[in-house]
A and B are shown apart, each in its own frame.
Chain A
Amino acid sequence: MSVNAWIVVGDQPTIGNLITVARSLGGPVGAVVAGPRSVAETVAASGVDKVVWCGGPDDAPAEASAPAVAETVAADPPRVVLAGRNPGDRVLLGAAAARLKAAVLTGARTVSMDGDDVVVVNAVFGDIADETVTVSGPVALLLDGGSVPPAAGGSASIEEAAATPLAIKVIETRTSGFDEVDLNEAHRVIGVGRGFKAKEDLAMVEALAETINAEIACSRPVAEGLNWMGKDRYIGSSGAHIAPQLYFAIGVSGQLQHMVGVQGAETIVAINSDPNAAVFSQTDYGLVGDLYQLVPAITAALK
């Protein structure tokens, strides 16, 4: 069986979208897993045709198996290799792309086959423009992985690849105290920006979030730099891309890099003290004023 699309998987079996895309291209779909054996088992039950597991010792991160992943993919060269966006998966995809000397595209909106060519509508430059790219030869696609795929009934057999891991090992893991979140699951999201003066002030956002059953997210500097919340909560070109029913941008200036992450939102409300803030040109409802007065007022009005 010659594989048309390989999915490379690290520590998380969050590949539902990758399976959908790979299946849409036709032909057998293989998965190569560098993470724990349990991930390979979840993947094997998800309806792929073939699974190769090349996990290393317990203290080896998925990245240690990058050469084994690359060899597995190259031994049955595909048209397309797919991976999700988390850091470990990017490393595995990079190794496979280098080994195949493949083209790499990271902004695919649609992927299709045209004869032997792969045609990708690819968002470029922070999603400001789309390019239709026709690729002859192997192509590596970095995509939103999606959720854990449901069991499809039956299970592919799991082949084990002998792997010599790279010299990299985990020597310690510490918890950060931040809760994990999947912003894509939320129907309402409140994004906070640098308009807030102190971390304690986020209490008023928590009150609003509780009232409308929303998740709290942020602009990049709030998660990186200020470190007020976990990195899985920042929205933007290199962070989460979300499409909730309602997005509140509070104290967010609305730079391109942030707003591309919420373009899919059905309704956007912005609160900012600066009437010239870029965010106001991209919102449905804009409130120019002091967020410290407006946020509690909105919470009160909702009750």
Chain B
Amino acid sequence: MRIVVAYKWTRDPAEATVRADGTVDWSRAKPGLSAYDPVAMELARQLAQATGAELIGVTAGGKGVAVPIASKAALSRGLDRVVIVEDESLADAGRSELAAVLAEVIRYIGDVDLVITGDSSVDVAAKMVPTVLAGELGWPAVAEVAAVSGTGVQAGAVRVERAVPGGVQVLEISGPAVLAASADAAAPRVPGMKELLAAAKKPVELLDLAALKVPPSNAVMTVTGRSRPERKARKGQLIDTTDPAAAAAELVTALRAAGTL
């Protein structure tokens, strides 16, 4: 069995600022593994351990996604090897372009039974790359997966649990599939020195984007304007809480005066 974890090396918008003209200043944001990817890696690692599967990390993006610190961060979380497409043209790629590239990488790797991703990327948070990827591959996709295990009956078949309104659904999938893990599907471990040292010795394969022959998109997206969204002005009034009862009374009076209560 062969499991791929698709991950992202990127920056957290909480560390970015937006200029008055709407452009984003990332200069103070440090790149790292996207917030929920360690969850996907841990979920995949546990499944790989239980089933004896090979575990392969895959990423595609602009300049910087193949730096050693990025592949080491991924490899130290239990992956056996990583396959990376680094191409500056992918820095601003849309969700469908990225999914199309990942689909070609998965075809290139071959014999992949399962692709596992995180819940969402920390920067774009579209939650669409895994579902478009499944569409490209013609495989079933399930999002918000809370648990996954082998069925023990059929090689490659898996049983997944996912939250549905008011409960949990258990699904059985035979054949290859794409799963997007929920943010709490597994508790990621912080890699130790041993894992980091081992990561430095694991294979990193770089693929050339042009050689993948990714079919082109039928849509052309052009950014024709940028702006910083107007934030609702807030009063920012601090209420003295030395005496909790007096603070509560002041708050209630203010809310009633504003017509909120």
Chain A residues close to B by CB (< 8 Å): 61, 63-64, 66-67, 70, 85, 87-88, 90-91, 93-107, 119, 121, 123-140, 142, 166-176, 178-180, 212, 220, 224-225, 227, 230-232, 237-238, 245-246, 255-257, 263-264, 266-269, 280-290, 293-294, 297-298, 300-302
Contact = CB atoms under 8 A, between A and B. Distances in A.
A166 B140 contact: yes
Contact of A101 (B174, B218, B234, B248): B218
Given A173-B164, A175-B166, A286-B237, A94 B219 contact: no
B140 A64 contact: yes
- Of A88, A124, A263, A264, most buried by chain B (CB within 10 Å of CB) is A124
B238 A171 contact: no
Interface stretch (B46-54, B63-71, B77-85, B126-134): B126-134
Interface in B153-167: 159, 162-167
B252 interface: yes
Contacts of B183: 220, 224-225, 238
B167 to A, nearest CB: 4
B220 interface: yes
B236 A256 contact: no
B237 A284 contact: yes
Nearest to A92: B131
Measured as residues with beta carbon below 8 angstroms from the partner, the interface class of chain B is: 35 or more
A170 B170 contact: yes
B229 interface: yes
A286 B236 contact: yes
A94 B159 contact: no
A133 B221 contact: yes
Interface of B: 13-14, 16, 18, 22-24, 94-96, 99-100, 119-120, 123-128, 130-136, 138-144, 159, 162-175, 177, 180, 182-184, 215-229, 231-232, 234-239, 241, 244-245, 247-249, 251-252, 254-255, 258, 260-261
B172 A180 contact: no
Contacts of A121: 225
B173 A132 contact: no
Contacts of B13: 125-126, 128, 256
Contact of A255 (B14, B180, B231): B14
